[in-house]
Structure 1
Amino acid sequence: MKICLLAPANSIHTLKIAYSLKESDNDVFVISFHKPRVKDLEILYIPPIMSSLGKLNYLLHIPKIKKIVEQYHPDILHAHYVSSYGLVGSLLNYHPFIVSVWGSDIFDFPKKSFLHRYLVKYVLKRADFVLSTSNIMAEETKKYIDKEVFVTPFGVDCERFKPMPELRTKDKIIIGTIKALKPKYGIEYLIRAFKILVDKYPFLPLELHIGGEGYLKEELEKLAVSLEIGDRVKFLGFISHDEVPKYFNMFTVSVSVSESESFGVAVLESEACGVPVIVSNIGGLPEVVKDGETGFIVPPKDPEATATAIEKILLDEELREKLSVNARNFVLDKYNWKENFKLITEIYRKAIEEIDHG
């Protein structure tokens, strides 16, 4: 198949799909308004005409993109993110046209105004197939269309994300997270939960490792110092995706207590490494954790509940081992990327057949 992806080339989600398509002997072409980080894919980067125009740049490039797509003549045009690439794809009048919803484009964007809501409805109506990575996001999408929304989980490469016992140390208990340092990921509440644990168990070798970059870093560092745990909280900075499995395997417990999350890929990656997880009862996170079996689900913005859940795992070695084994098996059963990717290619073939017989 020839597949044209309209998607951000700097996103690991885009790259995972593109590489999987390429490895399956498909012809893949990516058109992106975001500068790519790789050179072994065929990617057309379209820079902004004027940075001050913001996303209006996307619309100004439509004649150029339309010409490129028609010349490439793909079997499938697949746009990712309704409110940007999806809108561009819907205006190209090319079929089969598939659009994937990603999160804020369906949870937040249509609520901004009547016009935003209309644009979302327009894009979804123009699509031949609509895809979502989570059930909760699919249900949200159905508020704007009366067609089926196919759930295609964004799973995990279980050959890369796997238990590596040799990386786990017995002289440290590491509670960790790998997230962008932004308010919606609730890292403040994780730090406060960690403080509760340090105060309760001052002689345990507890450390909190926070991977990721973002504008909240300085504020979070100050919070840790003000709580007198600065020496136990380590900010790891940017972690490349190749390095993520190593860091997850160093964690005793992985925590994602976000205030907003459409799915939870990092949670699945932790589980695939056999690491028990704690997540907040928000968005798509409860879909990727079996409460009491692979980890625990806690209320958002609740340091006390988060600390209690971490404590259960740390103090019960038998429970910790059970959660670890269950977590790995859960991902293998439901979120193995090889199987999830097959769902996408099956939809591609169905779309082509419907156009051929339409």
Structure 2
Amino acid sequence: MRILFLSAANSIHTVRWVNALSERGHEVVLVSLKNHIAKINTISANVRQVYLPVKGKKGYYLNAIFLKVLYIREQIDVVNAHYASGYGTLARLARLPNVLLSVWGSDVYDFPRESKMKEKILKKNLKYAVQIASTSYCMAEQTRKIVRDKKIVVTPFGVDIEQFRIHPKRNKDYFIVGTVKTLSYKYGIDMIIKAFRLFLDQLDKTDHIHMVIYGEGEQKDELIELCKLLGISDKVHFKGYIANMNVPEAFRTMDIVCFGSRMESESFGVAAVEAMACGCPVIATKVAGFKEVMEEGRTGYLVSAEDYEMMAVYMLKLYRDKELRDEIGLNGRKRVERFYDWNQCVDMMIDLYMSMKRK
């Protein structure tokens, strides 16, 4: 099967999909804007990469003819356009047939709220697609609010359960609270830091307790200043950007993993799934993506957005009870194996492609 994969090549999600499809023997043509160029050696040599001539936002409009010619020349069986606002617009303007449109989150949560024009564009893109795919049920429901007459298939974005797996914890002499997220306001890293400060306040001895934060973002300097203000700069360690392949090793150092997302555009809690696969108990906010992938009280705990006091309560509870941490970690692993095994997710996507393949 020849698949035209229209998506940002510099996204780890894109890389994982195209590599997996290629490994299954399908011919994949990955088409992206020039400003979305992939990092070296991340994409399989068996995946053909094509970068469109016009970059930037105008590229979603001015590359339509080039894309149409490419589609015809490559004798494509099915098109999978990712991100309903940008690449969805390009697929529609190129009049590509047989389009599966995969929604990502902010394209259906945030984009249509920015203006009436953007809402109109999104509706056109969703209606144009032959089929719509969503990584979560909550995002599928959000998409149905925008366009009601289209079938939406839920195709979870799973994890490699061999790569993300339970291992003995490193740094046994230390108790580590951690997170892996972009350092942006919407991900609530400041909330986790405040919760950590309250957690420390409940303890007599804290020399062995630390927080690690993996990720980069525009809020980094502000978060460093917050740690200084709270008097915990020596306790909170900013580790910077981490490649996805190194995330499992990072989780192996953590006793508790926390996520403080504020926005409903956290449409699929893939970071929580990765942590659960590694046997880490998770504390997260009650945004749609985390509520869907987690099981309250069994794989971790959910708190209201901004409620860092309750997050601190759960930190303390898990800190004091190792058996509880182990039980919750094992429950999380079992849930991932049941619902979010990457190989099963790829099988599901290929079945969807085959049902749409040109006759």
> TM-score, normalising length from structure 1?
0.95
The equivalent residue for 2:344 is 339
What CA deviation, in whole Å up to 9, does each residue of 1:289-344 have, x standing for no partner?
11110100111111101111111111111211110110100000001111111111
Q: Give, in whole Å, the separation in 1 of the partners of 2:309 and 2:93.
A: 49
Letter in 2 for 1:43: Q
Structure 1 residue 268 corresponds to structure 2 residue 281: no
Contact 1:36–1:45 under 8 Å retained in 2: no
Letter in 1 for 2:307: D
Q: How does 1:317-332 map to 2 (within 5 A)?
A: 317-332=322-337
Across the two proteins, how many residue pairs are aligned to each other?
Answer: 349
Letter in 1 for 2:335: F
Match of 1:65 among 64, 67, 71: 67
* Matched position secondary structure for 2:25: coil
Per mean C-alpha deviation after superposition, the further-off stretch among 122-131 and 108-117 is: 108-117
Q: Give, in whole Å, the separation in 2 of the partners of 1:192 and 1:330.
A: 29
Q: Give, in whole Å, the separation in 1 of the partners of 2:199 and 2:170.
A: 21
The equivalent residue for 2:245 is 242
Q: Give, in whole Å, the separation in 1 of the partners of 2:250 and 2:307.
A: 25
* Matched position secondary structure for 1:22: helix
What CA deviation, in whole Å up to 9, does each residue of 1:119-151 have, x standing for no partner?
111111111110000111000101122122111
The equivalent residue for 2:152 is 149
> TM-score, normalising length from structure 2?
0.95
Q: CA deviation at 1:96?
A: 1.4
Match of 2:50 among 17, 21, 44: 44
The equivalent residue for 1:299 is 304
Letter in 1 for 2:142: E
The equivalent residue for 2:164 is 161
Unaligned runs of 5+ in 2: none
Structure 1 residue 285 corresponds to structure 2 residue 290: yes
Match of 1:94 among 64, 89, 96: 96
The equivalent residue for 1:13 is 13
* Matched position secondary structure for 1:143: helix
Q: CA deviation at 1:220?
A: 0.3
The equivalent residue for 2:24 is 24
* Matched position secondary structure for 1:25: coil
* Matched position secondary structure for 1:32: strand
Q: How does 1:127-138 map to 2 (within 5 A)?
A: 127-138=129-140
* Matched position secondary structure for 2:182: coil
Contact 2:177–2:258 under 8 Å retained in 1: yes
Unaligned runs of 5+ in 1: none
Q: Give, in whole Å, the separation in 1 of the partners of 2:218 and 2:90.
A: 30
Contact 2:52–2:66 under 8 Å retained in 1: no
- Report % sequence identity: 38
Q: CA deviation at 1:48?
A: 4.1
What CA deviation, in whole Å up to 9, does each residue of 1:93-139 have, x standing for no partner?
22211100000100011122222111111111111110000111000
Contact 1:164–1:273 under 8 Å retained in 2: yes
Q: Give, in whole Å, the separation in 2 of the partners of 1:209 and 1:8.
A: 29
Q: How does 1:169-248 map to 2 (within 5 A)?
A: 169-204=171-206, 205-248=208-251
4+ residue runs over 4 A deviation: none
Letter in 2 for 1:30: L
Q: Give, in whole Å, the separation in 1 of the partners of 2:337 and 2:53.
A: 39
